[in-house]
Amino acid sequence: MKHENAVTATIGHFIAGKHVEGGSRVQPVFDPATGTASRSVALADKLTVEAAIAAAQAAYPAWRNTPPLKRARVMSRLKQLLETHADELCALITAEHGKVLADAHGELQRGIENVEYASYVPELLKGEHSKNVGPSIDSWSEFQALGVTAGITPFNFPVMVPLWMWPMAVACGNTFVLKPSERTPSSTLRMAELALEAGLPPGVLNIVNGDKEAVDTLLTDPRVKAVSFVGSTPVAEYIYTTGCASGKRVQALGGAKNFAVVMPDADIDNAVSALMGAAFGSCGERCMAIPLVVAVGDDTGAALVARLTEAIAKMKVGPGTDNGNDMGPLVTREHFERVKSFVERGIEAGATLVVDGRAVTVDGHESGYYLGPCLFDHVRPGMPIYQHEIFGPVLGVVRAGTLQEAMDLIDAHEYGNGTCVFTRDGEAARWFSDNIQVGMVGINVPLPVPVAYHSFGGWKRSLFGDLGAYGPDAVRFYTRRKTITQRWPSAGVREGAVFSFPSSR
């Protein structure tokens, strides 16, 4: 499969192993570094999505019966191809998202690790067997594929988040329809081409670009058995409610407002270095970003703000294609304006704007969506910049008197995705990690994103459903357990009817 089809003026879809057109509506795809659009993306209508579902359904019987080891070998070849084409994929990510190339490579590597984990599927799908659970009766369980599954993924990780989903889904014997963000479609389509090159049969993975019409079709079509989603909480809740009402298994990861706690005994220099990347990496467009820091004690807060201010002054903002830059642009003009409005609302609410990034300009890229890092002090509960997920380079410092007070602030927030504490006190760290009401916790680690062989997922309104993404939870999500009990009576033995409930007595 040649890549030229994926870089035409209008980006289409990938169905049954081929690039296809579909849908009369299109929208532009922008380069956020320049604010210009050189291409557009077709938005799939209902018929196009149904064609992708039909292709996945047609491919399912043969793929389900393909030995797990053969499916695993496709994943191994895909891993190699993703590594070989890393520069190409990361250039596509940066061109449409804006993140710096080093960050794009980090995204891709974390995605590749999930492909590698999926290549262990023969071991992961092994069931359980018990001999002689009753007289001459054996029992075992096995994990069977669901059928056609689907994923809906966000703009900020156009390669990594899809790789959280479809590799494990297809390794388990399912087929897949993926709807990536229409803002960043190119790298996802290129990844699908590489999957075909790796030996994935046509129709096992299908890509449809689109908006709510495509989403609603996936959520309501009875041929789709399970849906995975990553995005904002309002949409996650809609996905979960609508999908469940249609009888589907749904896993919907929503928004976040992640807090870091800095204790008086913390190594401030190391904490600041960690927080800079966590707050401003990828321009803050991460669900695991740190937008709020709770400083325990006024002295801690003063030292933290002073060191953060110094570090921010050294940051370089510019096009993501220049790895000398620390931060690229925001993804769209609309999002740029939204994040700027939160800075204004923070000032109006009474927070102290210590560093104002709104005046940042990049020579030669004046139309790009650049917002410099912003730092607020004296942020309090109830302020818009405290309550809402901003998804931009805005960091707020909150003051607290004790660790318990800091934990109470975190526990009271509606989100519970990720959190971390910086301290040298093992007792405090253990108390924090054991009692905080958040799904992913870091101890002196600002972005506690689990590795591929653990699972990713928050608590409260950061996750709808009872299973997280990737890792062991993905095997459980994309399969269902079947338990089989068998008996082979001895030849010539005639048995009478038994009316009591069967037991091993």
Q: Which CATH superfamily is domain 259-443 in?
A: Aldehyde Dehydrogenase; Chain A, domain 2 (3.40.309.10)
Would the pLDDT of 391 be above 60?
Answer: yes
Residues 467-479: what's their mean pLDDT?
A: 97
Cβ-contact 475, 117 below 8 angstroms: no
Measured in degrees and rounded to the nearest 5, phi and psi for residue 46 equal -60, -40
Query: 108, 208, 85: which is closest to 158 by C-alpha?
Result: 108
Residues 72-83: what's their mean pLDDT?
A: 98
Distance of CA 329 to the CA centre of its chain: 20
Rounded CA-CA distance 39/8 in Å is: 8
CATH 3.40.605.10 residue ranges in the chain? 22-125+132-254+462-480
State pTM to two decimals. 0.94
Work out the angle at residue 448's Cα, subtended by the Cα atoms of residues 171 and 93, and round it to the nearest 5 degrees: 60
Q: Domain 22-125+132-254+462-480, what fold?
A: Aldehyde Dehydrogenase; Chain A, domain 1 (3.40.605)
Would the pLDDT of 2 be above 70?
Answer: no
Two tokens, residue 13: 């879809």
Residues sharing a CB contact under 8 Å with residue 334, sequence separation 6 or more, in sequence order: none
Which residue(s) pair with 398 in the sheet? 294
Percent of the chain with pLDDT over 90: 93
CATH 3.40.309.10 residue ranges in the chain? 259-443
pLDDT band at 7; cut points 50, 70, 90: very low
Which residue(s) pair with 224 in the sheet? 148
> What CA dihedral angle connects 99, 102, 104 and 106, to 10 degrees?
-130
Residues sharing a CB contact under 8 Å with residue 422, sequence separation 6 or more, in sequence order: 260, 261, 262, 263, 266, 267, 270, 271, 274, 444
Cβ-contact 185, 68 below 8 angstroms: no
Q: Look at residue 6 in the predicted model and tell me its pLDDT.
A: 39
Q: Quick: pLDDT tens for 345-367.
A: 999 999 999 999 999 999 999 99
User: CB burial class (10 A; 0-12, 13-18, 19+) of residue 4?
Assistant: exposed
Q: Look at residue 500 in the predicted model and tell me its pLDDT.
A: 79
Looking at residue 440, its amino acid is: M
Would the pLDDT of 141 be above 60?
Answer: yes
Q: Look at residue 505 in the predicted model and tell me its pLDDT.
A: 64
Q: Look at residue 4 in the predicted model and tell me its pLDDT.
A: 36
Cβ-contact 17, 196 below 8 angstroms: yes
Residues sharing a CB contact under 8 Å with residue 332, sequence separation 6 or more, in sequence order: 30, 32, 183, 369
Q: Quick: pLDDT tens for 107-130.
A: 999 999 999 999 999 999 999 999
Q: Quick: pLDDT tens for 337-346.
A: 999 999 999 9
Q: Look at residue 504 in the predicted model and tell me its pLDDT.
A: 66
Q: Look at residue 498 in the predicted model and tell me its pLDDT.
A: 77
Measured in degrees and rounded to the nearest 5, phi and psi for residue 109 equal -65, -40
- pLDDT, the chain, mean: 95
Task: Please report which helix (H) or strand (E) contains residue 408, including its range.
Answer: helix 403-412
Residues 167-189: what's their mean pLDDT?
A: 98
> What CA dihedral angle connects 455, 456, 460 and 465, to 10 degrees?
-60
Q: Look at residue 3 in the predicted model and tell me its pLDDT.
A: 38
Rounded CA-CA distance 44/215 in Å is: 10
Two tokens, residue 281: 């990496």
Task: Please report which helix (H) or strand (E) contains residue 190, including its range.
Answer: helix 186-197
User: CB burial class (10 A; 0-12, 13-18, 19+) of residue 381?
Assistant: exposed
Q: Quick: pLDDT tens for 58-77.
A: 999 999 999 999 999 999 99
Active site residues: 287
Would the pLDDT of 502 be above 80?
Answer: no
Q: Quick: pLDDT tens for 291-335.
A: 999 999 999 999 999 999 999 999 999 999 998 999 999 999 999
